[in-house]
Amino acid sequence: MPWQQLLSSQPRLPAARLDEWYASLLARLGSPTPFELALLGGRLAATPGLAFLAGYQGALRVLWPSAPWTLGALCVTENKSTRPADMSTRLNALALSGRKDFVTAAGSADWLLVAAREEAEGEAARLALGVVYAGAPGLRIEVLPALPLMPDIDHGRLHLDQVHCQRLAGDGWDDYVKPFRSLEDVHVLSAVSAWLFGVGQDSHWPQNLQLRLLGLLAGCAEVARQCPRAPSGHLLLAGLFAEFASLRDELDAAFAAGPAPWAELWARDKGLLSIANSARRKRLEKAQALLGVKL
Task: Let me know: does 189 contact 220? Beta carbons within 8 Å.
Answer: yes
**DSSP of 176-225:** IIHHHHHHHHHHHHHHHHHHHHHHHHHHT--HHHHHHHHHHHHHHHHHTT
Cβ atoms of 128 and 116 within 8 Å: the answer is yes
Task: Tell me what pLDDT residue 1 has.
Answer: 56
CA–CA gap between residue 220 and residue 207 (Å, rounded): 20
Largest separation between any pair of C-alpha atoms in the chain: 62
State the Cα–Cα distance between residues 115 and 127, nearest whole angstrom: 6
Which residues sit opposite 218 in a β-bridge? none
DSSP code, position 85: G
Cβ(211)–Cβ(250) under 8 Å? no
pLDDT of residue 276: 85
Cα–Cα distance list, 35 to 115, 143, 168, 235 (Å): 24, 29, 23, 19
- Cα–Cα distances (Å) from 94 to 5, 132, 165, in that order, read 43, 10, 5
Residue 204 zone, left/alpha/beta (φ > 0; ψ -120 to 50; rest)? left
The full set of domain ranges for the chain reads 3-63+175-291, 72-167
Which amino acid is residue 145, in one-letter code? P
Give SS3 for 109. coil
CATH superfamily of 72-167: Butyryl-CoA Dehydrogenase, subunit A, domain 2 (2.40.110.10)
Q: Give the C-alpha separation, 1 to 33, whole Å.
A: 9
Contact 52, 150 (CB under 8 A): yes
Report how far apart the first and last C-alpha atoms of the chain are (Å, whole number). Answer: 31
CA dihedral 96→98→104→105, nearest 10 degrees, is 70
**Tens of pLDDT, residue by residue, the chain (295 residues):** 579 889 988 899 999 999 999 999 999 999 999 999 999 999 999 999 999 999 999 999 999 999 999 999 999 999 999 999 999 999 999 999 999 999 999 999 999 999 999 999 889 999 999 999 999 999 999 999 999 999 999 999 999 999 999 999 999 999 999 999 999 999 999 999 999 999 999 999 999 999 999 999 999 999 999 999 999 999 999 999 999 999 999 999 999 999 999 999 999 999 999 988 888 999 999 999 999 988 8
**HEC assignment per residue over 22-71:** HHHHHHHHCCCCHHHHHHHHHHHCCCHHHHHHHHHHHHHHHHCCCCCCCC
Q: Does residue 119 contact residue 126 with C-beta atoms inside 8 Å?
A: yes
